[in-house]
Structure 1
């Protein structure tokens, strides 16, 4: 049995989306996004007190990229994953792990806009820097999707994969802080992948949302 430890609208949504795409039996244990993640019981699952954490057949995993690789290699090496022999294997690895580059900037902005409770604790400089860094990430994805190859609907030439899930979920978070209006290929790709039933199944109920706004404008002093 697979158990996913999950906080809505965090990186663990990436694993939840993937599990729905894999169509394997799993259970979701939802946790609040608070200090309970630092409790000894949870730290035994994820020593940094972060989600996702995955329990599978008596073993425990943490780190989103590692979980994605393991699940794909075990359950879907040539559909959601790309096997070592695949021409797209290198690109698959690059984009699966590039998702974390996007997520780290979105996480910094989440801390500034959502987690910190007092305006005096927030830094306009950090907000502007991290928003600009998201723009650079968007540029990289836009360039990839603009590559003139046949059927460039997804990040890989060979079609939809966990690379799209990983980066797509990171963009889901990042869009709360930087829009996609200046990146048309990225915007079309994001619309395409988020129409998938597995993505829709991974969305939180309104009362479970971490973000209480759809968009957080840059904070001004």
Structure 2
């Protein structure tokens, strides 16, 4: 079948981002739930993703890993879902800007802060994110524009990826609960595809 999608995940992983993306795309997909330390490290899966991590997808035989890459790939592969501006369309640069920002500087800054690995202040200039505070200020600006979404009135895969980081950051207290972040997360959680994806993954969580 054309555009056959297999989704490798675990409900306690960043696979939740890709599940949400798949639900927004609205195309059928097959889910393979992998376990940490066993099937995730098995030779069959390592042949697809040598990192031994989820999520990953296989779409018509092509393997894609890394959440931002998967979201970008799916948005471009299924343009009818309207989740990304086209290559020559207005907003494409803004869309890519914040996707890459969240995958690089933002995640690096949040991870360093949460693990108490922040560098000395005089070394900030050598880092891609500069400082945690600078990254958060930039993030707040991205979700505080004229419309409800990063691209204004248009919801996109950037909202799924950036929004997931904000949503988790608020839950785990790794991102400050500024009003702009809280309001943005509330809008995201109200989306039907987000609700469906969350229900599916919650049902897959270990019992007891």
The counterpart of 2:166, out of the listed 171, 176, 186, is 171
Q: 1:73-122: CA deviations, max 9, x gaps?
A: 11126710110121100011111222223344556688x6xxxxxxxxxx
Structure 1 residues 144 and 5: alpha-carbon distance in aligned structure 2, compared to 1, 3 A threshold = same
Q: Please give the residue correspondences for 1:1-221 in structure 2 after superposition, counting only pairs within 5 Å.
A: 1-34=4-37, 36-76=39-79, 79-101=82-104, 102-104=106-108, 125-126=116-117, 136-147=134-145, 149=146, 152-175=147-170, 176-178=172-174, 180-181=176-177, 183-203=178-198, 204-205=201-202, 208=205
- The CA deviation at 1:156 is 0.8
Unaligned runs of 5+ in 1: 113-124, 210-221
* 1:9–1:86 CA distance, 2 compared to 1 (3 A): farther
RMSD: 2.9
Q: CA deviation at 1:27?
A: 1.2
Contact 1:52-1:64 at 8 Å conserved across structures: yes
Q: CA–CA distance in 2 between the matches of 1:208 and 1:57?
A: 28
Give the Cα separation in 2 of the matches to 1:189 and 1:206: 25
Give the direction of change, closer, same or farther, for the CA distance of 1:6–1:91 in structure 2 (3 Å limit). same
SS of residue paired to 1:3: strand
**Number of aligned pairs?**
190
| Paired residues of 1:88 and 1:158 also in contact (CA < 8 A) | no
Are the counterparts in 2 of residues 145 and 185 from structure 1 also a CA contact under 8 Å? yes
Partners of 1:127 and 1:56 in 2: how far apart? 38
Could you tell me whether the CA contact under 8 Å between 2:166 and 2:181 is conserved in 1? no
- Give the superposition deviation at 1:144: 2.4
Measure, in 1, the Cα distance between the counterparts of 2:92 and 2:70: 17
What is the TM-score normalised by the length of structure 2? Answer: 0.78
Task: Report the Cα distance in structure 1 between the residues aligned to 2:69 and 2:189, rounded to whole angstroms.
Answer: 23
TM-score, normalised to structure 1's length? 0.73
